[in-house]
Chain A
Amino acid sequence: MERYEANREARTVILDRLRTALDDRPKPPPVRRAYRRERPAGLDVVGRFAERVADYEATVLRVYDAQDLLSAASDLLREAGVSRLAVPTGSRLAWLTRLGVELVVDSPPLDNDALGEIDAVATGCALAIAETGTIVLDTGPDQGRRALTLLPDYHLCVVRADQVVGTVPEAVARLNPRRPQTWISGPSATSDIELERVEGVHGPRTLHVLLTG
């Protein structure tokens, strides 16, 4: 392919230029990773996570048993006026069928237009980070593909207490770069107009988090 050939030449030239530019053989000092990698001792990570998520104006509810979970979820969905709820494939979110909303399973995959017409989506997560109030999705079992948590206007995310890590380094160490990831910290937001924060631009405008266990 012609374009590919031209490309090869550019590649050679760029790499040559860069090598020439480094003729002085800079020897940077070694990277010292003396910063904190683990959570501070004694930190209640789950409590901290809840606090930090709430700082982003996202609702976070802590529930301790299955009964709690059901009633909290149905309260949240009712308040948000959700009637159709998209869910990823798999059985871990099967309990949602007991909420009285219509579940739409993403199998076969819904097309984008159809997905955009659904009010809400519910998922689990890969892990969560206490210090930054972040939820990480990596398209694992109860999370679905990326578009699923993007087009509906409301996202209910269930986080198990044992999924919460303390710090960003702890999270990075546990994640697999081969999986597409979405790190979510509060609802989408912009401060582009006079720096006034507006919640909800293109992603889900509402993020509710249920913290279990």
Chain B
Amino acid sequence: MTTSVRREPTFVGMPPFPEAAHAELANDVQRANLRAATHTIRAKRDAVVAEVPDWELLRRAGEAIKDDVLAGLPGYLERLEVAVRAAGGVVHWARDAAEANTIVVAIARAKGVDEVVKVKSMATEEIELNNALARAGIHAWETDLAQLIVQLGEDLPSHILVPAIHRNRAEIREIFVREMGRFGRPAPERLSDEPGALAAAARRHLREKFLRAKVAVSGGNFAIADTGTVCVVESEGNGRMCLTLPETLITVLGVEKLLPTWSDLEVFLQLLPRSATGERMNPYTSMWTGVTPGDGPQEFHLILLDNGRSDVLADPVGRQALRCIRCSACLNVCPVYERTGGHAYGSVYPGPIGAILTPQLRGIAAHRVDAQTASLPFASSLCGACFDACPVRIDIPEVLVHLRAQLVDGERGPRDRAEEVGMKAVRWAFEKPWRIGFAQHVAGVGGRFARHGVIGRVPLPKRFTGPVSAWFADRDAPAPPAESFRSWYKRTDGGQEE
């Protein structure tokens, strides 16, 4: 199979998960913010999911629709291309990040602009578009409030949906006061740290940029193969601004974001908002098909991005990660994420989904990966909460175990290190009672495994002994008695003594 060099070299110089996790754990502010945040969203999500009697049927439909898309992806992409063109849009294809960036830069240059406004998008972060634009002398203004906070603070996002979740109001106020004036309209002198005042400062700061911008860049939540319609789901209205006001719109879309038909949205517009922000519906959803004379951008470019996705698709077990609709529900329920935060994952995709998607995008199935990447599949206690929360039923524990086996089997990483450091990461997150406070939450690794029926499926290379085999052996046993992760960990000294 074709393997090009298409790394995802985001967060350059990031230490492997455990080291990063260790450092992040030392950050009290972040830990407190994260805990409050994930618990709040979780409670909201649970409440709005509980009021939908057919939630499980929707999840199954969501899973099946996405599996159908993946199984027929080449054909669906061709259909999308035809539909977008018929509606007056231009379709581009990008094998990797560099190609996608080149296309965006070329369009911006052709328009003669030195700035673009941006809607938060994982795909454009993955390809590090802002850096590419900066190198071409083009400013990319992030317009999502959290992204603005991250950008002004010269920081890294730490959560898919609320990227500045690691900052509290006092820190945000300080960033606004210090930085806004350097890039446009300054924050008012006596800015308070009350969230309403901070949001108002962002509104004023960004309004002039929206009104001035000639080119906008977005991602997309869904694209409909049949009709060419693209859908962006958001809360603040910055998305609407970018999608409506500029003359030219560029949308960067991962190839897996397709849905076959318009009516498939009836499933995903129920699953996504409730799973993501715990709302019945997010404040704004925009949908457009090509260009509409007299309304919105009169030039529309759609960039279809591979960047490793075809490699993910090639793995029959791992490909389910491409069903992901980036709702971040799995982050919010993950006990490891709650303790380490998003930065520790060293990728734009943090949390459980990052632990399975990033290594695959970086080609773990095909070749050796670096220590940081190799440690990601171990950044989990395999408690299974992520699977239960996932609106498209991605069996994250199954994929994690599969990737661990790949690492071990194919010597795809500095395995000893990966294994050891991975375990240490989890230990750091869990070992101290004061860090845990929820020991029972992660109860019964074995029990959870048995429930998912994963036990017998862990392919165990015979030749391995020591820590690696211990890690798997514990799981290969016939349904071990339910034991909390912590006690298992303690008893075996992190799997060293089993």
Contacts and interface: CB of A to CB of B under 8 A. Distances in A.
B379 interface: no
A147 B2 CA distance: 45
Contacts of A15: 74, 77-78
Interface stretch (A61-69, A76-84, A90-98, A190-198): A190-198
B454 interface: no
Given A17-B306, A112-B211, A185-B280, A177 B241 contact: no
Contact of B227 (A173, A177, A182): A177
B145 to A, nearest CB: 4
B445 interface: no
A21 B285 contact: no
Contacts of A39: none
For chain B, which range describes its interface: under 10, 10 to 19, 20 to 34, or 35 or more residues?
35 or more
A52 interface: yes
Nearest to B285: A183
A194 B199 CA distance: 12
Contacts of B199: 190, 193, 198, 200-201
For chain A, which range describes its interface: under 10, 10 to 19, 20 to 34, or 35 or more residues?
35 or more
16 contacts: A7-B103, A20-B1, A21-B314, A29-B67, A150-B244, A180-B292, A180-B296, A183-B287, A188-B236, A188-B284, A189-B283, A193-B195, A193-B199, A194-B33, A201-B238, A203-B284
A177 B287 contact: yes
Contact of A168 (B203, B236, B270, B283): B270
Interface string A166-209: 00110111000111111111111111111110101111100000
Nearest to B148: A192
B288 interface: yes
A209 to B, nearest CB: 14
Interface stretch (B129-137, B161-169, B429-437, B469-477): B161-169
Given A18-B255, A177-B229, A195-B37, A35 B281 contact: no
Nearest to B72: A22
B289 interface: yes
A10 interface: yes
Contact of B95 (A10, A27, A131): A10
B81 to A, nearest CB: 8
A180 B249 CA distance: 14
A187 B287 contact: no
Contacts of B319: 21, 26
Given A147-B244, A201-B145, 9 more contacts: A17-B310, A28-B71, A34-B54, A36-B54, A150-B240, A180-B287, A181-B286, A190-B145, A193-B198
Interface stretch (B86-94, B182-190, B345-353, B490-498): B86-94
A132 interface: yes
Interface stretch (B259-267, B387-395, B407-415): B259-267
Interface of chain B: mostly helix, strand, loop or mixed: helix
A99 interface: no
B71 A26 contact: yes
A198 B68 contact: no
A172 B207 CA distance: 32
Contacts of A35: 54, 57-58, 61, 267
Contacts of A22: 71, 73-74, 313
Interface string A134-167: 1000010000011100100000000000000000
The 4 closest A-B pairs by CB, nearest first: A203-B237, A202-B237, A28-B67, A17-B310
Given A168-B269, A193-B199, A202-B206, A185 B57 contact: no
Contacts of B270: 168
Contacts of A25: 71
B289 A190 contact: no
B483 interface: no
A14 B304 CA distance: 10
Interface in B111-155: 143-146, 149
Contacts of B285: 181-183
A195 to B, nearest CB: 5
